[in-house]
Amino acid sequence: MVKLLNQLAFQPGQISGQEDSIILPLFKELDIPHAISIGLQSQNMAQTFNHSLDDLEVRQDKFLTKNNLELLNKAYFSTVPTEKDTTIGDISTPNNTLHPIVYPADVIFTHLSSTPLIHKPADCPTAIIFAKKNILPVLGLAHLGRPQVNKKVTEQAIDHVTDFYMINPRDIFIGISPSIGPKHYFIKKKDQEVHHFIDRSYWGEFAWEDASYDEPIIRIDVLGKILSVIKQKGVPDENIEAYGHSDAVDTYHLASLTPPLAFSHRYATETNQPHKNGRFMVAAQL
């Protein structure tokens, strides 16, 4: 079975719950520098909710440095693409600027070493993808929220590794950050009927109607669907590790704690607390 993490795995040497960096043990074993900014001392990593871009970059650089990652001036940030942008991007040129380069794509890959790939989610699963053919490694970062899963970005990301990089699925390793679970994530049935937010036939058992709410809703298990697709694509269970759906790792629940351990857009919106909105950071490099 896929290894599900139902407790936050903090960096070695940290006191659980007291710091601001958690890891995926699978990627620590693979010796892939990475970190996820969740913990009591984690700070808001979203530019939208920070008055000073300079202060934000200092904060982000400190986070990268303490986790043995290169600074922002060598990094690439993935952002949600427009319809005109590519779904998947391949980075082959080192960042020699003084600031991070923003790359609009749902998934970014690179062969480059010492080049941090960064995404800043709030509730969406973010997948770190590592693969190796002979001695040439490739690293990817995939934003896999409901819209991305709905347009089959998970399938496209794995196909890109197998087709473009010519790597067997059995040589792919995938780790997935904490995200919101179906306990807190749903869409209203009436909205689905009008806007068709999801393809019910595609989501299958990972989207179901629930009449126990104050109006009919459809609960959505985004992580469950992602894991199902990854396994169908031939990635072995032992190569997959994900933070599960227990309260201990659900971003909505983590944001509801006092003090909060994470940021959740949905929690901030539903409770009308815009000051609690924000993003955490997922960063990894070869």
The first and second tokens of residue 191, run together, are 């909205």
- The burial of 80, by beta-carbon neighbours within 10 Å (0-12 exposed, 13-18 middle, 19 or more buried), is given as middle
Asked whether residue 62 falls in the same domain as residue 203, the answer is no
CA neighbor of 281 nearest in space, from 128, 94, 54:
128
Average pLDDT over residues 204-230: 95
Average pLDDT over residues 11-22: 86
Asked whether residue 139 falls in the same domain as residue 48, the answer is yes
SS3 206: helix
Asked whether residue 194 falls in the same domain as residue 235, the answer is no
pLDDT tens digits, 191-204:
999 999 999 999 99
Residue-level pLDDT at 18: 81
Residue-level pLDDT at 94: 96
Average pLDDT over residues 46-55: 81
Mean pLDDT of the chain: 94
Asked whether residue 127 falls in the same domain as residue 188, the answer is no
Instruction: Note the Cα 34 to chain centre separation in Å.
Output: 12
Confidence of residue 135 (pLDDT cuts 50, 70, 90): confident
Average pLDDT over residues 171-187: 97
Contact 15, 8 (CB under 8 A): no
Residue-level pLDDT at 38: 96
Angle between helices 153-163 and 222-232 (to 10 degrees): 30
Asked whether residue 144 falls in the same domain as residue 187, the answer is no
Domain of 200, in residue numbers: 182-220
Question: Into how many domains does the chain fold?
Answer: 2
Asked whether residue 138 falls in the same domain as residue 271, the answer is yes
Contact 49, 277 (CB under 8 A): yes
pLDDT tens digits, 17-34:
789 999 999 999 999 999
Contact 137, 111 (CB under 8 A): yes
- The enclosing domain of 65 has a CATH number of 3.60.140.10
Question: pLDDT at residue 116 above 80?
Answer: yes
SS3 55: helix
Asked whether residue 173 falls in the same domain as residue 187, the answer is no
Asked whether residue 150 falls in the same domain as residue 191, the answer is no
